[in-house]
Amino acid sequence: MSASNLTLTLIGGPTALVEIGGLRLLTDPTFDPPGIYQTAPVRFEKTSGPALSVEEVGALDAVLLSHDQHLDNLDHAGRAMLPNVGATYTTRAGAARLGGNALGLAPFDTRTLEGGSGKRLFVTAAPARHGPVGIEPISGDVVGFLLGLEQPGDAVYFTGDTVWYEGTADVARRFSPKVVVLFAGAAQPRGRFHMTMGSNDALEAANAFPDAAIVAIHNEGWVHFKESAAELAAAFVTLGAASRLAGLERGKPTRFEW
């Protein structure tokens, strides 16, 4: 296989610019300024704005939207930008709500994305569960994504908002991505439930993908995150896995090569 590379630029929260194979994608668009956006039934309070504006991000081939129903994954400015991208990959339920260029995928469905440059990328949906067993009627459908250059899932895996469970473990059995991007932060917007990965889940993921670089995002910028990037890094240090975790600096492109 020829040399390949991936560039990730963390914009804030779950939003990252993904440059791979000559194409440009964005995960879960959130570009609103800080503020309180909802108080019930769940409080959504944003504490920091994006590192880059929509205009600074520029033209996009596609958006990878884990779900549309929560403001910390698709806010007002993010929703407004969707008609201007080539395609929005999301859940089937989300695509029905969004309409327009939204394409709904079930877990392990694969579509081929072709950019204006003639480059091709495989986009595969991955299972996700946004909290503990039985949470689906409350949290709604969620999906992760795998990107492939030469075959589906051979490059990068974005977990989307999920905990570690049998569905994410199944991804590890089927695919061997070079980079795994965890949506972490141990989100706790209601009760005692963690809705996204905490350090235990992240360490499970690192073990399940032993040859991948591990990256954690979606662990800052909102008050309902209970575990910071520094706390996650400390957990990896404690268990001798510090070398497995690659950090991202907001607004700064980080390159991965293989």
In this predicted structure, the answer to whether residue 241 has a pLDDT above a threshold of 80 is yes
Rounded to an integer, the average pLDDT of 165-183 is 98
* Residues 15/27, Cβ–Cβ less than 8 Å: yes
Beta-carbon contacts of 35 under 8 Å, excluding residues fewer than 6 positions away, are: 45, 46
CB count, 10 Å around CB of 57? Answer: 18
Structure confidence at residue 119 (pLDDT): 84
* Residues 216/184, Cβ–Cβ less than 8 Å: yes
pLDDT digits (tens, 9 = 90+) for 130-150: 888 988 888 889 999 999 999
Closest C-alpha to 70, from 224, 198, 201, 200: 224
* pLDDT grade for 189, boundaries at 50, 70 and 90: confident
In this predicted structure, the answer to whether residue 1 has a pLDDT above a threshold of 70 is no
Higher pLDDT, 231 or 3: 231
CB count, 10 Å around CB of 172? Answer: 19
* Residue % of the chain over a pLDDT of 90: 84
Length of the chain counted residue by residue: 258
In this predicted structure, the answer to whether residue 53 has a pLDDT above a threshold of 70 is yes
Comparing 112-126, 137-151, 155-169, the range with the smallest average pLDDT is 112-126
Domain boundary assignment for the chain: 5-251
Instruction: Output the six-digit token pair for 26.
Output: 């964005």
Structure confidence at residue 227 (pLDDT): 93
CA angle 242, 209, 159 (to 5 degrees): 95
Structure confidence at residue 246 (pLDDT): 97
CA distance 123 to 93: 18
- Give the pTM: 0.95
SS3 215: strand
- For the chain, the farthest-separated pair of C-alpha atoms sits apart, in whole angstroms, at 51
In this predicted structure, the answer to whether residue 229 has a pLDDT above a threshold of 70 is yes
Side-chain half-sphere CA neighbours of 243 within 13 A: 3
In this predicted structure, the answer to whether residue 232 has a pLDDT above a threshold of 80 is yes
Rounded to an integer, the average pLDDT of 222-250 is 95
- Supply the mean pLDDT for the chain: 94
* Residues 162/198, Cβ–Cβ less than 8 Å: no
Closest C-alpha to 134, from 217, 191, 202: 191
The residue type found at 197 is: M
Structure confidence at residue 2 (pLDDT): 59
pLDDT digits (tens, 9 = 90+) for 20-48: 999 999 999 999 999 998 888 888 899 99
* Residues 129/138, Cβ–Cβ less than 8 Å: no
* Residues 29/82, Cβ–Cβ less than 8 Å: yes
Fold classified for 5-251: Metallo-beta-lactamase; Chain A (3.60.15)
Q: Cα–chain-centroid distance for residue 129?
A: 13
Structure confidence at residue 187 (pLDDT): 87
